[in-house]
Chain A
C-alpha cells in the first residue's frame, strides 16, 4: 500500500500525507524535480498539468497550468523556499491569473516534502500548510479550489466541536 496515512488538522491548518514507495529517495526526488515527471502526477485525472517553467533551486520559480475537460486553463505557480537534495523540499504554491503570473496580495500555501529511506524504499511526507484562517478565507473568496480542503477542515472542526459538546 502506497499511502500509509493522511491527516487533516483544522487547528494547525495542515494536511499531512505519508506514503511509501519501493524506490530510492533519489528516484522519488526526481518526480518532484523533473517537470516531465511532475506533470504526470500533479493534475487530477481529466486535469493534466503542464509546467512551462520549473527552476528547481532555492528561490526558483515554477509556472504551471492544468487543463480542464472543456479546455479551460487553471494557472498556478511555485517558489522553491528550501531544498536539500534528495531529502527535503519546501515550496510556496500559489494561484496565478490568466496571464500565468502570481496574483498579487494573495499569499501562497506552503508545501513541505520530506523523503527518508525506509525498509529498502522511501517514505514521503507531504505537508500542506496554510498561514491563517484569513488566508484561507481570502483563497476561498477567490474561488481557490485548493483552499477548499481547508474550508472543509473547518467544517470537520465544527463537527468535532458538536460531538464534544
Chain B
C-alpha cells in the first residue's frame, strides 16, 4: 500500500501531505477551482460561501501553504492566483500512482517469464 517514493521531480512527502490535506476539503477544492478559472480577491471568493471572510482566508492560507495558490497584491486587494506549476507536479503524482501498477504488472511478467524458461 506504499507508493514507491517519488522521484525528485515530484513531491517530497511533506509537500504531498500538504497538498492532500489542502484538497481533502470540499470548500478548499471549490476555492481552488474558482482560482484556476480566474484570479480573484479573497472577498470576491468569500461571496460564494456562507462562511465568514476569516474562514475563507484560512482556507486560502492552507492552499497557499500547499503552494496550490499564491497571493498577489494589487492595490489594496490581494488576488488569489492558482499555481499551475504545483498542479503540473500534482499530475506527475498521478502518473506515479499509475506507475506503481505498471511496475507491478512488469514484475508479474518477469515471474511468469522465469517460470516459462524453467519448464
Contact = CB atoms under 8 A, between A and B. Distances in A.
B2 A66 contact: yes
Interface stretch (B42-50, B53-61, B70-78, B108-116): B108-116
B16 interface: yes
Contact of B33 (A23, A47, A152, A158): A158
Given A22-B116, A152-B94, A44 B20 contact: no
Contacts of B98: 6, 8, 15, 17, 149
Interface residues of A, number: 52
Given A6-B101, A44-B103, A140 B112 contact: no
B67 interface: no
A97 B10 CA distance: 28
A105 interface: no
A23 B1 contact: no
Interface string A103-145: 0000000000000000000001010100001000100110111
A118 B47 CA distance: 56
A86 interface: no
A58 interface: no
A116 to B, nearest CB: 15
Contacts of A8: 94, 97-98
5 contacts: A31-B111, A124-B108, A140-B20, A143-B17, A154-B29
| Top-9 shortest CB links A-B | A149-B97, A41-B107, A44-B4, A19-B105, A152-B94, A162-B36, A23-B112, A155-B90, A2-B109
Interface of A: 2-3, 6, 8, 15, 17, 19, 21-23, 27-28, 31, 37, 40-47, 66, 68, 74, 76, 93, 95, 124, 126, 128, 133, 137, 140-141, 143-146, 148-149, 151-156, 158-159, 161-162, 165
Given A148-B3, A155-B87, 10 more contacts: A2-B105, A17-B102, A66-B2, A124-B108, A140-B24, A148-B16, A151-B24, A155-B91, A156-B94, A165-B37
